[in-house]
Structure 1
Amino acid sequence: MGVTVGFDLDMTLIDPRPGMAAAMDALGAEAGLPFDGAQFAANLGPPLDDTLRGFDAPEERIPWLIDRFRATYPEIVVPVTIALPGAAEALHAVREAGGRAIVVTGKYAPNARLHLDALNLAADEVIGELWSTAKAEALLKHQAKVYVGDHVGDIRGARAAGAIAVSVATGPCARAELAAEGAEVVFDSLAEFPEWFAARFTGRAA
Structure 2
Amino acid sequence: MGITVGFDLDMTLIDPRPGMIAVMKVLSEQSGVPLDGEYFAAHLGPPLEQGLAACGAPEDRIDELITRYRALYPEIVVAQTVALPGAEAALQAARADGGRTVVVTGKYGPNAALHVREHGFDVDVLVGELWAAGKAQTLIDNNAVAYVGDHVGDVVGALAAGAIPVGVVTGPCSREDLLAAGAAVVFDSLEEFPAWLEANSGALRERVRPVPAPAPTA
TM-score interval (norm. to shorter) = over 0.9
Shift of 1:140: 1.2
Larger radius of gyration: 2
1:47 aligned onto 2:42: no
User: Which has the larger displacement, 4-13 or 138-147?
Assistant: 138-147
1:41-120 alignment runs, 5 A limit: 41-120=41-120
Kept after mapping to 1: 8 A contact 2:39/2:55: no
- Identity value in percent: 60
Query: 2:160 aligns to what?
Result: 160
Query: 2:175 aligns to what?
Result: 175
Rounded Cα–Cα distance in structure 2 between residues aligned with 1:116 and 1:59: 31
Where does structure 1 differ by over 3 angstroms across 4 or more consecutive aligned residues? none
Residue 97 of structure 1 aligns to a residue whose secondary structure is helix
Aligned residues: 203
1:131 aligned onto 2:170: no
Unaligned runs of 5+ in 2: 204-218
Kept after mapping to 1: 8 A contact 2:11/2:170: yes
Query: 1:121 aligns to what?
Result: 121
Query: 1:13 aligns to what?
Result: 13
User: How big is each residue's C-alpha offset from its partner over 1:5-43, in whole Å with a ceiling of 9 and x where there is no partner?
Assistant: 100000000000000111112111111011011110001
Shift of 1:128: 0.2
Kept after mapping to 1: 8 A contact 2:40/2:54: no
Shift of 1:54: 2.2
Rounded Cα–Cα distance in structure 2 between residues aligned with 1:83 and 1:58: 32
Rounded Cα–Cα distance in structure 1 between residues aligned with 2:142 and 2:24: 33
Shift of 1:56: 4.1
1:189 aligned onto 2:189: yes
Kept after mapping to 1: 8 A contact 2:148/2:168: yes
The RMSD of aligned alpha carbons is: 1.1
Residue 166 of structure 1 aligns to a residue whose secondary structure is strand
